[in-house]
Amino acid sequence: MGYFPFFIDIKDKNFLVVGGGKVALRKIEKLNCFEPNIKVVAPKVCNEIYELSNKKRVEIFNRKFDFCDLEDVFCVITATDDKLLNSSIFKVCKSRNILVNTVDDKDNCTFIFPALSHKNNITVGITTSGESPMVAKFLRKKVDNLIDEKLISTVNILGKYREKIKQEFSNENDRKRVFEILFDMCITSNMLDDTEIEIDTKIEELKNGKN
């Protein structure tokens, strides 16, 4: 049985990271571009996390974890080398319906981190259900190479026309056909700046039944 890939908005949600080493740092770096509030609790915190706290929404508490830290938390990431503590945090989080990830310990997780390819508004998550992170990493590199500037620009351009097309074309099949045509125009164009002019013209033609 695999893991279902949920995509959720975590902006402004409260995350707790227990641990302050390099493993914790990697998780924080993955989360940061999605703008959650991150609280780090650990007796020792690496310099890279301190540097992030000066630039991003990362708050550091230089002390041991206390179960009171779980108050008003959306998600917990446990990244310590204390297996007993990790297990205890997992059990309490599970009992309170708090999402929890214990790094490199699938049995003490209610979710796992995918290998992420994230550029602009495109995010692709890859997982092997915890069986082979190396394979997930391999696939993530392949996806990174697929997401080029043209694809990013195509997403941005089509996003601008999303509401207009919904208003202009009431039939779902018609909307799908329009988006397919516009996608092909964007992805094959050599001048994306001029493509928007072509798209406006094409939408009018399609609306008037010329294609």
pLDDT of 193 > 70? The answer is no
Kindly state whether residue 6 falls inside one of the protein's structural domains. no
**Number of neighbours of residue 13 by Cβ within 10 angstroms:** 17
pLDDT in tens, 148-183: 998 998 999 899 999 999 988 988 999 999 999 999
| pLDDT tens-place string over residues 32-82 | 999 999 999 999 999 999 998 887 789 999 999 999 999 999 999 999 999
Residues 18, 106 share a domain: yes
Q: What pLDDT, on a 0 to 100 scale, did the predictor assign at position 108?
A: 95
Helix runs in 21-74, H state only: 22-32, 47-55
Look up residue 105 and give its DSSP letter: -
Residues 104 and 18 in one domain: yes
- Classify residue 9: in a domain, yes or no: no
φ, ψ of residue 177 in degrees (nearest 5): -65, -40
Q: How far is CA 174 from the centre of its chain?
A: 31
Q: How many domains does the chain have?
A: 3
Residues 129 and 187 in one domain: no
pLDDT the model gives residue 203: 86
Note the pLDDT of residue 55. Answer: 78
* 169 and 103 part of one domain: no
Provide the residue range defining the domain that includes 181.
Answer: 149-207
Residue 62 backbone phi and psi in degrees, to 5: -85, 75
Tell me: do 191 and 123 sit in the same domain.
Answer: no
5 belongs to a structural domain: no
More confident residue, 189 or 84: 84
Query: Given 88, 113, 138, which residue is the final one in a domain?
Result: 113
- Say yes or no: 37 and 88 in one domain: yes
Q: What is the pLDDT of residue 111?
A: 93
Element housing 157 (H / E): helix 149-168
Separation of alpha carbons 163 and 161, rounded Å? 6
Would residue 3 count as lying in a domain?
no
What tokens were used for 8?
């959720």
Residue 130's pLDDT is 80
Comparing CA positions, the residue from 120, 184, 186 lying closest to residue 152 is 120
Q: CA dihedral defined by 139, 108, 33, 54, rounded to 10 degrees? A: -130
Identity (one letter) of the amino acid at 15?
F
User: What pLDDT band is residue 198 in, cutting at 50, 70 and 90?
Assistant: confident
CATH number at residue 33: 3.40.50.720
Residues 163 and 79 in one domain: no
